[in-house]
Structure 1
Amino acid sequence: MISGLLFDKDATLLDFEKTWGEWSRSFLTGLADGDPALLQAMADAIQFDLTRNTFHPTSPVIAGTPDEGVDLILPLLPHWDRDALVTHSNETARKVQVHEIVPLAPLLDELKTHAPLGIATNDAAASARRHMEAVGVADRFTAIIGSDSGFGGKPGPGMCLAFADHIGAEPATVAMIGDSTHDLHAGRAAGMICVGVTSGFASEADLTPHADVVLPDVSHLPDWLSSRAT
């Protein structure tokens, strides 16, 4: 029996490239303030292709926290205070135009009939909530937990355990669903069922050693849940 469904956000519920490509270029361009060499240096630091507005699959930004992303470019910005830059990053990230992996409202409505839903993201909690509000599904989640919510970030288990505690469930009965090994390591460390999805940068081969099951994307969850009930 599954007593909770806990989701990563970016590249699991939201299309990472469509959501964050243009934003990242705009964010770096603003920080560069007309200095093309600085713009390129920051892009290189986070492994971002300014020509195509895409991240290299190994970019630590993809599964990292906002703080980790700031730490990569901060050495290039000596006039910025770290806390101020984290705040600036989070405030601008809340306003990003988000793109769903699949239509989320009908899917989440169906999944809610099986178990309470939650989000555990390495993004800031306020940004994550704003993104879910932008696509009209924030109210489907019992809890939206970010890396700044006081439970640490993934791949640590803190957010996963906090969600299980919030819904009063044993972690072993909760499924952690995510596109990266960070998500699956967090779920495994918490003792959860681990569901990988290949809607991000990681392949099935990357995820399989760390997952109980790997699906193409979250739209396949209802069939997976049904298969477990038979």
Structure 2
Amino acid sequence: MSARGIRAVLFDKDGTLLDFDATWGPATASVLSTLAAGDAACFAELADIGGFEPAALTFRPASPIIGGDIPDFAPAWAARIGVPFDDAFVARVDELFRAASLASLTGYADVSVCLDRLAEAGLPIGLATNDSEKTARAHLDKLGLLGRFAFVAGFDSGWGGKPGPGMVAAFADAVGLPASAVCLVGDSPHDVEAARRAGARPVGIARTPRAAQVLGTSAEHRVASLDEFCAWLERPALEAEPAPGA
């Protein structure tokens, strides 16, 4: 399929395969409502910590919920509600988010077609997310996609979270390829950095103006959809390409 030396594709999940705001906006409102236990001021402070805009059910570009993992933002939540930040709190937040996000789960329409094209070309497919592995598997399963993935990893799978290179290196090992033959497709600078630190190829996907803003020109290439990604992958590498955002 690819004339670019790419022989396997590793995907980010949220904002890449899933519509981030449609899935996580309602889910975050639900989680914060539970944690705040009816205290409106507490709810507002928890939302601000997470870079969440509850009136619009959306997120500020720098929201740690977008690119980070639970340990990136939940310690401040625990401190605000007066409980220890420990494994039990991480598990509670993860469980709340999993249940709420499954209720609002929204995948992008181009995902299945792209995965089919990659599979037909014989390219192994993996997932690397800063969500938990259990939630990632639950999301893929509900979308009917889990069986398409040769590898699924979350921040708690033992290889660390992004922007660390661990999940990317583990995927390359799992499919028996050098990291240089792996492409990581994601919508945040964490994805780009994780790919680069592992020696893989970063492709940014900017499905929203927010993603375009935070990605800038940091990735090797930037696309607006998975249809565009597949077209890029199939295009001869020597063809001239427009600059990101052009």
TM-score past 0.5 threshold: yes
Q: Does residue 117 of structure 1 match 2:125?
A: yes
Q: 1:113 to 1:151 in 2, by over 3 A?
A: same
For the aligned residues, what is the CA RMSD? 1.6
Contact 1:70 1:82 in 2 (8 A): no
SS at 1:61's partner residue? helix
Give the counterpart of 1:77 among 48, 64, 81. Answer: 81
Query: Aligned residue for 2:28?
Result: 24
Shift of 1:229: 6.8
Question: Equivalents in 2 of 1:116, 1:103: separation in Å?
Answer: 18
Question: Equivalents in 2 of 1:40, 1:3: separation in Å?
Answer: 46
**In the TM superposition, what are the counterparts of 1:29-178 in structure 2 within 5 Å?**
29-95=33-99, 96=101, 97-114=104-121, 115-178=123-186
Q: 1:176 to 1:59 in 2, by over 3 A?
A: same
Deviates most, 171-180 or 194-203: 194-203
Contact 1:104 1:137 in 2 (8 A): no
SS at 2:109's partner residue? coil
SS at 2:235's partner residue? helix
Shift of 1:167: 0.2
Shift of 1:104: 2.2
Structure 2: segments with no counterpart, 5+ residues: 239-246
| Percent identical residues | 38
Structure 1: segments with no counterpart, 5+ residues: none
Query: Aligned residue for 2:226?
Result: 218
SS at 2:211's partner residue? coil
Contact 1:7 1:178 in 2 (8 A): yes
- 2:112 maps to a residue whose letter is A
TM-score by length of 1: 0.94
TM-score by length of 2: 0.88
Contact 2:183 2:203 in 1 (8 A): yes
Question: Equivalents in 2 of 1:57, 1:207: separation in Å?
Answer: 10
Q: 1:30 to 1:163 in 2, by over 3 A?
A: same
Structure 1 stretches of at least 4 aligned residues deviating more than 6 Å after TM superposition: none
SS at 1:118's partner residue? strand
